[in-house]
Structure formats: C-alpha cells, structure tokens
Structure 1
Amino acid sequence: MTDVLEDLQWRGLIALSTDLDELRAEMAKGPITYYCGFDPTAPSLHIGHLLQVLTVRRLQMAGHNPLALVGGATGLIGDPRPSAERQLHSRDQVAEWVDKIRAQIEPYLDFTGGNAARMVNNLDWTAPMSAIDFLRDIGKHFRVNKMLTKDAVSARLNSDAGISYTEFSYQILQGMDFLELFRRYGCRLQTGGSDQWGNLTAGTDLIRRMEGESVHLLATPLLVNSAGEKLGKSTGGGSLWMDAEMTSPYALYQYFVNLEDAIVGGLLKQLTFLEREEIEAIEKETAERPAARIAQRRLAEEVTRLVHGDQETAQVIAASQALFGRGSLAELSASTLRAALREAGLASAPAGSTVADLFIAAGLVASRNEARRTVSEGGAYVNNERVADAEEIVPAERALAGGLLVLRKGKRTFAGVELTSA
C-alpha cells in the first residue's frame, strides 16, 4: 500500500505534495480512495494527460481505490490559461467530448474486484445546484485575496486580456469536486499536474473549512524538454494527442524516437511500467551506444503500445524500418503507410509519371538535372528498389496499398507520392 509512494518518487512523479509522511501513514492503514480530474476542453486527451492516467493506474495497482472524474461541468468553463481566455464550447459539444475522454481513460483502469475504479462526472452534482446555493454554501468559504494569488489568475490580471469572472471561479468548482467526492466516497487524495496546484489546494482548503478534515494532494511534473517546452510543442505541431486521428500512431512513435538524450531516461520512468533494473540496463546500453538510440526506441515502443495497442505498434515499427529499406513496404497497411508518408511529406502525381517527375513532385530534388544526377549516383529509390533511369515511367501497378509510392533519396531522406488517374 505504501511502496507505491517510493516508486512514484523514484520515477520522478511527485513534483509537489501536501504531507507525504501523513499520506504514507494513512495508506498503511488500508486502501484509500483518490481521484484525478480530466476536463473535456478538446475531443482527446494528450500525452500530458497520459502521465496522469498512468499515475492513477499505478495507485490502483498498489491496491487503492480510483475515481476518474471527467468534468462535464468544469469542461463548460475551462481552467484559466496564463495567456488568454478560453473559447466556450456548447453543452452538446462538451457532452460529446466527455464520452470520448471517458472511452480513452477506461482501458487503463480495472472496473472489477475489491478496488474497482469508478468514473464520475461533476455535472451530476453541479447542474442541480442553484446560483444562490453555490454562492452561499460554497463561495462563502473562498477568500478573494487568496484566489488572486493563483499563478494563472495573477498572470492574467497583469495582462491586457484580464480574466472573466467565469474563469476566475473555476477554482471554486474544482474545490467543490474534491468536497463532493470526499462526502460521497470518502475520497482522501487528489492527483493532478503541478501547473494545477492552485486549483488542487482549493479542494483541500474547502474540505478543511467545511468538514474539519485534512486530506492529501500529489502533483506530477509537467512533461517538458530540456528547454522547458511542453512535449510536442517544440515541433510546431501542437499537442501530442492520444486520438489516432489527431496524432497518428506513427507520428507519436517517431516523436519519441527523436527525443533528445537528456530527457529520455526520465520519461522511461514516468511513461512506462518497466521495472528499475530494466530501465537502468537500457540507460547503460544507451550510454555505451548512443547512436543506436536504444532508450528512445524502447520508450517510443512502450508509449505507442500503451496508447494504441500491440497491433498498431507492430505496424508502426514495421513502417519505421521499411521506410529506410530494412523491411517490406508491401506488408504495411494503407493507413499506417499514409500516416508515415504524411509526416515526411506526401505529394500527388499522375500514374505514368517518370521517376524524375515523381522526385520533383515530392520535393526531393529541385530540378530534372538534379534528379538525373541522383539516379546516376545510385541514390534514388522507388519502394526501396534502386532506380537506374530517371526517365523510367512508373505505372500504377507499382503502387503500394492506397495507391502510394515511397521515394527515397540516399539513406535517410524519403517522401511519398499518391498516384492519381492520368
């Protein structure tokens, strides 16, 4: 019951907490009920949320009782960002996102047995409450001077954008969630991201004021690179989503394969269930052969498997190898191949185009002369087969699944072409 705290500390998953000694003593008495909240402010969770989901799972595996809250109420508001006001989404849109996010969380938790997980929605207790009851029963216990000190709130107060009363009140709603779960299920611990610390403490303060009880908080660190940028943001492509339609499994895998050495060891601890001995062995082997990117590849495999499953991960690994001539392109599904080529660059050209035309269309060469030179030097490949003639016509029958061709220049540079009707 308490060993999980040592494991979380070793994995670097406790950035902030209330009192670990008190929490450890309470856990030693038996399983505790805890919760983590996820707001449906988008149709999918992202990789930062995955860290939260896995933390919830680790605590359940240690025997504790999880509540996973998808915020049908708080999702209608949105927690304040330091930069600008959030766009409000319709009730129907948020309800649809609630269902999608529940479906993303549920596979990670066990809903059977003595410590079965439970999904909850804060709209269930927020919607029936009148504005007068909210202000009298809950708002009365919050002090505006303390609310103003929250990081996101203070940042917005000092900006031209300011902050609406709606977003300013978000911390009251989150605090009420902890109180309600404390009353309904005896919930004694909330987990969340360290950037949410102000909102997390709103709940402990409210329970202390209204119930006279001390409860607990654990906050995980943000997933950032060595420059302090959130994972995914540095690529310019936005978040790394858990929805395969928003971030393809191939794109997710390749992102982690290309991570910098400095952070990969920490992410192996935080985003996988590998044991300490195996992680240390991977780190040792990576230090001895850094060019092989052993830690990055194992991290990419483990994360992709957690998010998308064994079959999709096998396809992604096969694609990663085949695109560089180390496997069969013909064995790849059209969806995996298209996703991989879209990341590299996917153009279109009519069937019956010459090799030179295709390489120009794909942006691998700038001119016909450069195409001829690349071919004559032995550095041009179509579907991993070396090309001997830049003017060779490539018929539709050469295409792979989905009418796609893989063009490669040299060993490392590739792009895709989708053949269209001539």
Structure 2
Amino acid sequence: MASVYDVLVERGYIKQLTHEDEIKELLEKEKVTFYIGFDPTADSLHVGHFIAMMFMAHMQKAGHRPIALLGGGTAMIGDPSGKTDMRKMMTKETIDHNVSCIKKQMEKFIDFSEDKAILANNGDWLLKLNYVDFIRDIGVHFSVNKMLTAECFKQRLEKGLSFLEFNYMLMQGYDFLVLNQKYGCTMQLGGDDQWSNMIAGADLIRRKEQKQAYAMTCTLLTNSEGKKMGKTENGALWLDAEKTTPYEFYQYWRNVGDADVEKCLKLLTFVPVVDINSLCSVEGSAINEAKKVLAYEVTKLIHGEEEATKAKEAAEALFGGGVDLSNVPTVTISKGDLDKTLLDILVEGKVIPSKGEGRRLIQQNGLSLNDEKVTEISKSLTEEDFKDGYALIKRGKKNYHKIVIE
C-alpha cells in the first residue's frame, strides 16, 4: 500500500514543505497529529476550503489524526494573506455564529468520533491572552525584519498594513505552539498562501520547546490560467445548499475547462488515479464524460448521493434531450406576484443577485424565458408564460430555473 505522502504527491496536493525526507519518513512510520486552520469569515465554507478538507481526509484515511482549528480568535483580526485590503471587522457574535455553522459542515468530511479527530477553536486561548505577557513571551521570538520579507506582508506594504494585521502571524504561530503542547501536534497543513505563517509557527515551537515541527502546503485551487476557481455569477461557490444549490454546484463542475478536469478529479474526489488517467486520456468532446464524473463525485461528497443524482438527472433532462424537469431548481410564486417585474421575481427567488445584474444580462442577451430572449427590463410574467405548469428561465448559456405558481 502506498504511503499517504506518495498519494498526496501523485494527486498533486503538495506544493511546499519544510523537511521533505523527514516528513516522508514520519508519515510512513508514525501516526502524526496535524492541523489545518479555518477562519470563520462567513457562515459557510466555500470550495476553496474544500481542497484543504480533502487534504485532511486523505491524511485521516491513512491513520493520521487531524485537528480542524476554527479561528474564533484570529477572525477578530483577519488574515492579510492574499488580500489587497484589510478584511471587514466582524463582531464576536457573528464569528460565533459562523463557527457553529462551519462545525456542522466539517462533520460531513472528517470523522471526529473516538478521538480520531479534534475540533478546536483558537478563541478558547487567544481571547484570554494578556497582551503584555504575550508580547514578552511570544513576540520576542519574531524578527520584524524577517516578517517584512514574508509574501503575505510584502504585497500589502505599498497600500498599507495595519499593526492589527501584523499581529496575525504571531497569533497563528502561537496556535501551532498551543496545539503542540495540548495535543502533541507536530505538523501544520494549509493552502500555499499560508506558507510564511506556517514556517513561523514551526520555528516558534523549535525555539520554545526545542522540538522539531513541520509544515506542508497544498496547491491552491486555480485553473489552467492561474486564476482562482470557485467564482460564479452569484459570488463564491459555497458548500451550503442554501447559498449555492446542489444543481448550481453540479453545473459549475460540469462546465469546467477541459484543461482543468484532470486536476480537479485528483484534488476534489477519491476516484482512483488510474481511472482518472483513463477518463482524461481522450481528445475533443469525449472529455465530457470525465466532466460528468467530476460533477457527480464532487456534488456527492458535498451534498450526498441523493442530491447529486437529482442534479445529474436535471442536467441530463435539460441538455441531454430528456423530459423530466422535476429536479431543476424551482422558484415558487403566487398569482399576486404576476404584478411584479420578472427581474423582481428573479432577485427575490435568488436566481440573480441583483436587479443591476439582471439588467446587464438582458442588455447582453443573456436572459431567456421559455427559450425566447428577454429584451425588456420591465418585462412581467403572464399566465400564458406557464406552459406545462411552469415558466423556464435560462441565465447565461447553461443555468436554468423553473418558475411555478402555487
């Protein structure tokens, strides 16, 4: 059986690591406790977090123990990594709400039973710190000169970096130290944009505990052009079905670029690599079969087999010549809603994010009603539009919704 290190390399996860030979040997011979941090900046994780959870799941399947660390404390500051501007400040109440929502999502992917994994919140120790004690005990081990060379700070210096955000690296490093002391955590995993913060934490453990600690980053989810994936017309591709429906989620992966299918199958599914290589060793339109497998497998992991099957059947009905539209996302209105404009109905039904976006779609011929382009901004629905009991809305090339009257 291949070691988890070999599996991670083969599937394309590993980007950077602190001690390659030592980490490889450690993962082969010992059961390692490691952690990945997730700052609760929203009440749902998005697909950018999903790759980190898959990273974690592969490690757990190999017998290693994950700590999923929710940043109830660090979210009070906000991570400057990869950001051109300071994050919006959140209240403690909002952060606590987000933490509770994210906990439920994580339990779908990670087995927390019988101490197989640990769910921790850094607010439990960070929010109780005495600042002077912290700076004396922890800050003394950080070199400002070295910190300023970190990529997460360098790109912010021109526009301005607040001292509040400058503390983030110290706090994340302290997290690693606390987890090392409490749980014997010796390794941090995370996205490659966290590299500077991760090696700072490993260095802090070496200085404070005279122990070796390790860091390993995974590649970020980008397309073949190097742009971050997971952005839709309505914003981020969320894991919460209330924010991104299973059908919309399925369609996103069904429509990824041909050059990105193999990478996504390796990073975001458990499909064996030998099968992925076979699926992707084709040319032209035959790659669509690989896209169907990708869309189904990722949707099944996030939303369950039943919802994945419904999304697949809805897509096939719309694009494969089928007739069963029962699983196409549906907006239900009352007869009184016929007095409203179509744009109002679509905004209220969360089919489009705003009336401004709706106007843009109409002006660019991107909105259709029953296969006819909508050309009037003030267009209203009539009962005649409800053929076979529904009106079919198409947004862009492949996003469909039904409107029905209750």
**Structure 1 and Structure 2 fold alike (TM over 0.5):** yes
Distance in 2 (alpha carbons) for counterparts of 1:417 and 1:335 = 5
Determine the structure 2 residue equivalent to 1:268.
Answer: 265
Tell me how far 1:28 sits from its aligned partner: 3.6
**Aligned-residue offset at 1:24:** 2.2
1:13–1:270 Cα contact (<8 Å) kept: yes
| Number of the residue aligned with 1:372 | none
Matches within 5 A, 1:75-90: 75-80=75-80, 81-90=82-91
Query: Partner letter of residue 298 of structure 2?
Result: V
| One-letter amino acid of the structure 2 residue matched with residue 308 of structure 1 | H
Q: Percent identity?
A: 38
Residue 176 of structure 1 is aligned with which of 174, 196, 210? 174
TM-score normalised to structure 2 length: 0.84
Query: Bigger shift: 6-15 or 259-268?
Result: 259-268
Which whole-Å deviations, capped at 9, do the CAs of 1:321-354 have from their partners, x for residues lacking one? 1123633435337659999x9769999xxxxxxx
SS of residue in 2 equivalent to 1:187: coil
Change (3 A) 1:165 1:414: closer
Partner of 1:297: 292
Aligned to 1:47: 47
Equivalence map 1:191-210=2 (5 Å)? 191-210=189-208
The whole-number CA distance in structure 1 between the counterparts of 2:398 and 2:141 is 61
Match for residue 249 of structure 2? 252
Partner of 2:337: none
Asked whether 1:231 is paired with 2:221, we answer no
* 1:329 match: secondary structure: coil
Q: Distance in 1 between matches of 2:17 and 2:326?
A: 49
C-alpha separation in 1, matches of 2:399 and 2:43: 32
Q: Which moved more, 1:412-421 or 1:271-280?
A: 412-421
Tell me whether 1:60 sits opposite 2:45 in the alignment.
no
Alpha-carbon displacement from aligned partner over 1:5-59 (angstroms, at most 9, x marks no partner):
0000001100011112101222343201111110001111111100001111110
Query: Normalising by the residue count of structure 1, what TM-score does the alignment of the two structures yield?
Result: 0.81
* Selected match of 1:364 from 368, 372, 386: 372
Count of matched residue positions in the alignment of Structure 1 and Structure 2 = 374
| Aligned 8 A contact 1:251 1:343 in 2 | no
Distance 1:316 1:68, change over 3 A: same
Secondary structure in structure 2 of the residue aligned to 1:317: helix
2:392 alignment partner, one of 400, 406, 414: 406
Partner residue in 2 for 1:117: 117
Q: 1:317 to 1:76 in 2, by over 3 A?
A: same
Q: Which residue of 1 aligns with 2:9?
A: 9
**RMSD (Å) for aligned C-alpha atoms:** 3.1
Aligned partners of 2:354 and 2:289: how far apart in 1? Answer: 28
8 Å Cα contact 1:53-1:108 kept in structure 2: yes
Task: Give the direction of change, closer, same or farther, for the CA distance of 1:45–1:394 in structure 2 (3 Å limit).
Answer: same
What is the letter of the counterpart of residue 177 of structure 1? D
- Paired residue secondary structure (1:40): coil
Deviation at 1:120, TM superposition (A): 0.5
- Please tell me whether the aligned partners of residues 5 and 27 of structure 2 are also in contact (alpha carbons under 8 angstroms): no
Mapped partners of 1:75, 1:9: distance in 2: 31
Moved more, 91-100 or 321-330: 321-330
> Quick check: 1:319–1:337 contact (8 Å CA) kept in 2?
no
TM superposition shift of 1:416: 5.0
Cα distance change, pair 137–395 in 1 and its aligned pair in 2 (3 A): closer
Say which one has the larger Rg. Answer: 1
One-letter amino acid of the counterpart of residue 418, structure 1: I
Matches within 5 A, 1:383-398: 394=384, 398=388
Any unmatched runs of 5+ in structure 1? 348-358, 369-391
Deviations 1:111-152 (A, max 9, x none): 234x61110011111122211111111111111111111212
Q: Could you tell me which residue of structure 2 aligns to residue 216 of structure 1?
A: 214
d(CA) in 1 for partners of 2:256, 2:18 = 32
Aligned match of 1:387: none
